[in-house]
Amino acid sequence: MYLQHYGLREFPFSLTPDTSFFFGYGHYRDAYNTLTVALQNGEGFIKVTGEVGSGKTLLCRKLLNSLGEEYTTAYIPNPYLNSSALVLAVADELGIEIPAKEESHRTLKQITQRLIELGNAGKRVVLCIDEAQAMPEQTLETLRLITNLETEKRKLLHVVLFGQPELDERLAQKSARQLRQRITFSYTLQPIDREGIAAYLQHRLLVAGGNGEVGFDSEAVRQLYRGSGGFPRLINILAHKALMLGYGQGVKQIGAAQVKLAIADTEGALKPQHNDAAARWWPQALGTALAAVLMLAFGYQFFYVEQRQETGLTRDVDPVASTPPTTVLAAAPLAPPPEPLTQAPAEPQISAVTPNRVSGSWEAQQLLVHGTALPAEARLIVSWDGREKLLPADRVEWLDSNTLRITLTTGARNELWQLQLVRHDGQRSAPVSFEVVAPDA
């Protein structure tokens, strides 16, 4: 459609949960780290919740794809199953062949035996269940019973539940209290914040093969945030439509006009709304205030009320009296204002590079560096194969305080590269790594 126009290999804002587009930023990075740490600690139940379109399925796929050989994984995308069907689904994911019309208790025995075999082989079994809020009550209880399997040292099955906020409501019910008590780690995904959307757009364009010619200007990014609320699914829909409009208009830089049209064309997008209720309330409030003033003037003919809008205070003034009052109340001395609370500035640091795996090349490539309090004139040291060098200033572009864009030439070999930020005092931040893969690897 528009790939050739923008110089892209693939659609950057597809709704398919492609893990190569995973954006390791903010809540998504923290949620992923929470999951990996919890599984390494051998926890039985883990829960991740988030609103519709917040990226739960992509996070689930990213987790499944990144677990090492010491893990055996199982995935159930549609858990709207009765108890027997759930048992059969788990058995199937574990590679157990179940004869037709096999009884559930015999199937559970085979699952137990399989888990013991995998445990003896040093494997950890992880079961990921997407859309877990759709699980019937009895099925949730069956899932709890399956996870009772354990040795004296560890659990034989680890379960990660991904669901909408309704999952928390289900688990809050008294009938689910035993399962709720077993959840040792949980995380709630939040939308991408305003500062992260620009980096999110750049990240997906780079992964899709963009060379920097296509982009969204600052006003377009602002409109995308307003129209999507920061939810990745809506961002993708709006950005895709905006790119289609840009293609039709023959432009490569997307502005607010294209995004506004995309918002108007998308159901579920957050449309700008006029405050009609406030418009109705204001004349009524004004009329009430005028009526009060007239009543006051009628009742107290020798007095009037002077409204001081700049302070919000009123005072009674006697226009007849020719002498000032004999008694004046001295104003109480004002207490000195409290000292403002100051916070130490955040320490500049980097946390991740995206993509974290690049194809080695003798041509320049662009990557995104994520972190905290990144300075506008950041200095980065890149190291590989026992060598290191300071990146030239023209190879480092500041996008915002959380994101840098760097340009590198890696060569076409299999190597592990590292980046470090040089702080103002000359100290280096902790290194972050990314993998360079030879094209023929």
The residues spanned by each domain of the chain are 23-188, 193-264, 349-437
Per mean pLDDT, which range of 81-85, 286-290, 385-389 is the poorest?
A: 286-290
> Is 60 exceeded by the pLDDT of residue 334?
no
pLDDT grade for 345, boundaries at 50, 70 and 90: low
> What's the CA gap between 387 and 311, in Å, rounded?
66
pLDDT grade for 299, boundaries at 50, 70 and 90: very low
pLDDT grade for 175, boundaries at 50, 70 and 90: confident
Cis bond upstream, residue 355 (ω within 30):
yes
Q: What is the pLDDT of residue 287?
A: 42
185 φ, ψ (degrees, to nearest 5): -130, 140
Place of tokens 């040795």: 151
Question: Whats the size of the chain, residue-wise?
Answer: 441
Decide yes or no: CATH 2.160.20.70 for domain 349-437: no
**For domain 193-264, which architecture applies?**
Orthogonal Bundle (1.10)
In terms of pLDDT, which residue wins out, 165 or 327? 165
Q: Name the E strands within 77-182.
A: 124-129, 158-163
Topology of the domain covering 23-188:
Rossmann fold (3.40.50)
* Tens-place pLDDT, residues 261-271: 999 999 888 87
Residue 156: both structure tokens together: 């034989």
Average pLDDT, the chain: 81
Indicate if 349-437 has the same CATH topology as 193-264.
no
Q: Give residues with Cβ within 8 angstroms of 74, minimum separation 6.
A: 90, 93, 94, 125, 126, 127, 128
**Whole-model pTM above 0.95?**
no
> Is 90 exceeded by the pLDDT of residue 204?
yes
